[in-house]
Structure formats: C-alpha cells, structure tokens
Structure 1
Amino acid sequence: MTILDKKLISRRTVVKTSLFGATFLYLSTIGCRKNNEDQTKERVIGCRFLDPRGQNLFYYLSESLLFSFLPKEDEEKEKVLSEVVLGIDSYLSALPPHTQAEITEAIDFLNLGAVRWYLFGSSSNWELTDRDSVIKTLNSWKMSSIGLIRTIFFLIQSMVTIGFFETSYSWKHVGYPGPKHALGLKHG
C-alpha cells in the first residue's frame, strides 16, 4: 500500500487499467471460432473433440516438439502426426465438459492471428509458422518464472509425448519392437 500512499498510482488508475485489460481480453476472443480462412490444409482424421483448428494447432506443436523423432518422408510423417493428434483428442475427449470448454477457449485464443504472431512469429497460419520460433517460445514457457505458463508448457508436452508413444504406429520410428517381444521371457 505504500505505492498508493505516495500517490504514484491512484486507485482510479488501477481500476481503469483493469477494466481496459478485461475489455481487451473479451474483445480479442469474440468470434474466434468463425474465422477459418487462415487454414491452408484441412485434416480429416476423425477427432471426437478437436475441430480442424484445434487439430492444426496440435499438429504443428507436435511437429515442433517431436521433430527429431519423426520420419523424413512427408507421407509417413503426416501419418505419425495424425496418430499423435488422435491420441491427444482421445485424452481431451475424456475430460469433464468444463475443462473441455476451457481448453477450447485456449485453442481459440492461440489460433488468433495477433496472438500467434506475438507468440510464434506468424499470424497467417500454423503451416507457415517457423519451427524454430515455436521451439523458442515453448522453451521460454518451460523456463518461465510464472507457474501457470510452465504448467501450460508441461501439459502440452505431456499430451504430445503421450500421443506419440502410446500409438504402436510410432514405435518403429524409435526402435521399440512392442510388448510382444517380452512375452517369451521368464522372470524370476
């Protein structure tokens, strides 16, 4: 309260700034779901929860986080990343409705051109966003002094990692032969 006592900042200024910030946040999310023209590639992979914009978001975040594990051939890489997005969708579709609503809002917020430009350096679409820029942003989230931002990073990383390693389609790309190789082993 010493700042307020010295009249460096008035309560009125604090209230006006808070109202302006809340209004800006509200206006920035109006109509998020209606603007689909910035999407260049539509994926139809059979998701239950994620809409095409959410699928693209997780597709390109997954590509950035998993690039060293992904196959070099475009068709094979597309298949692996589609399986990752399906795994993420499976996880998200099992969450309670109120959590799903919050995740939908977060996806819509990250898909706003201004937000994508500010965070990842490209406002046009995810396909044109530079992988190095995405990695740099995600690494800054991982090292952030703000706990919520770190939590968001680790949630995204966990969903992508689980989506990649849970599907048997990805196993051959990391050299895992699958659980059947251990069935003949005797333990004791």
Structure 2
Amino acid sequence: MQRRTLLTLGLVSGTALALAGAGAAVWTPGWRDGRLSEPARALFAGVARAVLDGVLPQDAAVQAVALKAHLDRLDTLIAGLPPATRAELSDLLALLGTAPGRWALAGLGSAWSEASTADLQAALQAMRVSGSAVRRQVYQALRDLSNGAWFADAGTWTVLGYPGPYRL
C-alpha cells in the first residue's frame, strides 16, 4: 500500500466516523427536553448495576423501583449542570448509545440493558485502566454521575455508615 493511499483511507474513514457520530447525536441525543433519552436511561441503568453491585436491592422488583428512582435523580442532577456540560454529556451518551460507540469507548459488545453485571464491570474496569485519557474520562463521568445520583438520596446513606447531617 502506498503512503498516499493509506492517508486517503485514513481521512475518508475518519470523516465517515465523525459523520456517523454526529448523525447519531442528532437523531438520538442523550439529553432531550430536560430528561435522559431512553437509550441514555438504559446506559445509566447498566452503569448503576455494575458500579452499585452489592448496594442495589437484590430483589428484582425492588431493584427496578430503586433504579427508576435513581434515573429520576440523575435527571435532576444533570439538569443542574451548565448548558455546555449538558450538551457535551448529551453527545457522549448519544455516542455510547450506538453499537459502534459503545464498542469503541467501552469495549462492550452487548447492549447496556442486555449485558451481564460481570460484562458491564469488565467494560468499566477496562475504561478505568485504559491508556486512553478519553476512555478514562468517560469512565469517571459515568461513575461519578451514577454514584452522585445514588448517594444523593438520604435512604442510601446507611450503606456508607453516614448518619446524615447534624441538626443545628
């Protein structure tokens, strides 16, 4: 392969990926009308199952209710972010909501809602220790948002041994 052919192939491939990512963000934004989109909710439910394993209720019905409340708190948390940060997060969630984006950034072949907890944990761990600063930042954002929304509820503080704020 000649150098010119390789450079052309790289340029065309990069352009195609950029257009596909931008198209996915336009068609299914991660944040829409003051709420997480359905694909973004599935993503954060998967992240919560992985990050909060052992903290989430074991009963499936109770866990479903807890995850719904968690996702509602995430809506509130994200709504409080600056508009530019919400826009960047929306683009990230849109990209992670697509199969190519999920595979490229998280290394996860299955959909967020279909992956096992072990697969989700392995994907997040790979992101955490990745040599790519972008993958590490994505991991930190997903983990921090998920944990922030979960532990914002006073009902979850007992797991940490936190008695709550002192009454003045």
Identify the TM-score tier after normalising by the shorter chain: 0.7 to 0.9
Over aligned residue pairs, what C-alpha RMSD do you find? 2.8
Alignment of 1:105-184 (within 5 A): 105-116=91-102, 119-122=107-110, 125-179=111-165, 182-183=166-167
SS in 2 for 1:144: coil
1:21 aligned partner: 14
Say if 2:55 is the partner of 1:69.
yes
> C-alpha distance in 1, partners of 2:24/2:148?
31
Structure 1: gaps of 5 or more residues: 1-7, 36-46
For structure 2, which runs of at least 5 residues remain unmatched after alignment? none
Whether the aligned pair in 1 keeps the contact of 2:45 and 2:113 (CA below 8 Å) is no
Greater gyration radius = 1
> What displacement does 1:49 show?
2.6
Q: 1:97 to 1:76 in 2, by over 3 A?
A: same
Task: Give me the whole-angstrom Cα distance separating, in 1, the residues matched to 2:24 and 2:64.
Answer: 30
Which moves more between the two structures, 153-162 or 78-87?
Answer: 78-87
Confirm or deny: 8 A CA contact 1:88 1:160 kept in the other structure.
Answer: yes
Question: In structure 1, how many angstroms separate the alpha carbons of the residues matched to 2:86 and 2:25?
Answer: 16
1:67-97 C-alpha deviation (Å, 9 max, x unpaired): 1111112232223222322232222212233
TM-score under structure 1 length normalisation? 0.71
TM-superposed CA distance for 1:174, in Å, is 4.7
Question: How many residues are aligned here?
Answer: 162
